[in-house]
């Protein structure tokens, strides 16, 4: 018996006692691709055949399980309109509450801005939009100049061209300027919400029917 124990410990050390016991149970039930009857010859060869057959048997189940998981992940249903709306709503409210506390500039505020704008909630006077555009152009050019100071030689020409393009873009059509405008515009909107004391979540829910999944992509 010590020989058998030593053999298993050496060659099948990754298997637990429960797995070894289960291997023989599965074998005697005829579920392994092996003749389980040892004909009074309970040898290390017989043990090896049982345990190797069990590992193959178990491996097939693991592969099948992994295949099923992969198929499930591949056919995962896209979020519904209601789920997408709820996700964006929660993100905006979290972003707003953070702004109320810190009054911080959010580099990704344009995501919330687009959501609110397409619902028809944001309304910024043209006079303020002009101020926002002027500030956004200045910020975009300043950020690019900071990048230029830190850039390596192969990147410098590209950044210099970007700076020239931003300086020529008086109307703020470049994507960088557009996004900064939206970030700043969101701050103006949040300030108005705070000043007027209305419930942002309630206002969003009132406009829920205006939400369109395609328009948010």
Q: pLDDT tens digits, residue range 38-52?
A: 434 556 666 777 777
How high is the pLDDT of residue 39? 39
Domain range list for the chain = 2-74, 81-216
Cα 181 to Cα 135: distance, rounded to the nearest angstrom: 8
How high is the pLDDT of residue 212? 78
How high is the pLDDT of residue 78? 76
At residue 187's C-alpha, the angle toward residues 183 and 191, to 5°, is 170
Taking alpha carbons only, the member of 212, 196, 214 closest to residue 120 is: 212
Please provide the average confidence, as pLDDT, over all residues in the chain: 81
Cα 44 to Cα 25: distance, rounded to the nearest angstrom: 17
**Does the structure show a pLDDT above 70 at 63?**
no
How high is the pLDDT of residue 154? 86
- Lowest mean pLDDT across 39-53, 139-153, 156-170, 189-203: 39-53
**Structure pTM?**
0.62
How high is the pLDDT of residue 51? 77
pLDDT band at 188 (very low <50, low <70, confident <90, very high): very high
Cα 118 to Cα 121: distance, rounded to the nearest angstrom: 8
Digit-coded pLDDT (tens) for 101-120: 999 999 889 999 999 999 99
How high is the pLDDT of residue 35? 57
**Does the structure show a pLDDT above 60 at 53?**
yes
Taking alpha carbons only, the member of 92, 120, 112, 105 closest to residue 201 is: 92
């Amino acid at each position: 018996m010590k020989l058998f124990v030593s053999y298993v410990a050496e060659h099948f050390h990754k298997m637990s006692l429960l797995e070894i016991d289960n291997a023989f149970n599965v074998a005697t039930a005829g579920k392994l691709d092996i003749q389980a009857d040892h004909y009074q010859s309970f040898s290390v060869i017989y043990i090896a055949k049982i345990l190797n057959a069990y590992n193959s048997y178990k491996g097939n189940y693991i592969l099948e399980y992994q295949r099923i998981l992969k198929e499930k992940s591949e056919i995962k249903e896209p979020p519904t309109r209601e789920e997408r709306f709820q996700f964006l709503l929660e993100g905006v409210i979290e972003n707003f509450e953070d702004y109320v506390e810190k009054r911080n500039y959010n580099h990704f505020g344009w995501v919330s801005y687009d959501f609110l704008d397409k619902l028809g909630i944001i309304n910024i006077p043209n006079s303020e939009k002009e101020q926002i555009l002027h500030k956004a152009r200045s910020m975009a050019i300043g950020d690019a100049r900071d990048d230029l100071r830190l850039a390596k030689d192969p990147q410098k020409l590209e950044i210099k061209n970007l700076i020239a393009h931003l300086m020529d873009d008086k109307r703020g059509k470049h994507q960088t300027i557009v996004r900064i405008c939206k970030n700043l515009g969101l701050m103006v909107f949040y300030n108005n919400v705070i000043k007027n004391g209305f419930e942002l979540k309630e206002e969003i829910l009132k406009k829920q029917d205006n939400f369109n999944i395609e328009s948010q992509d």
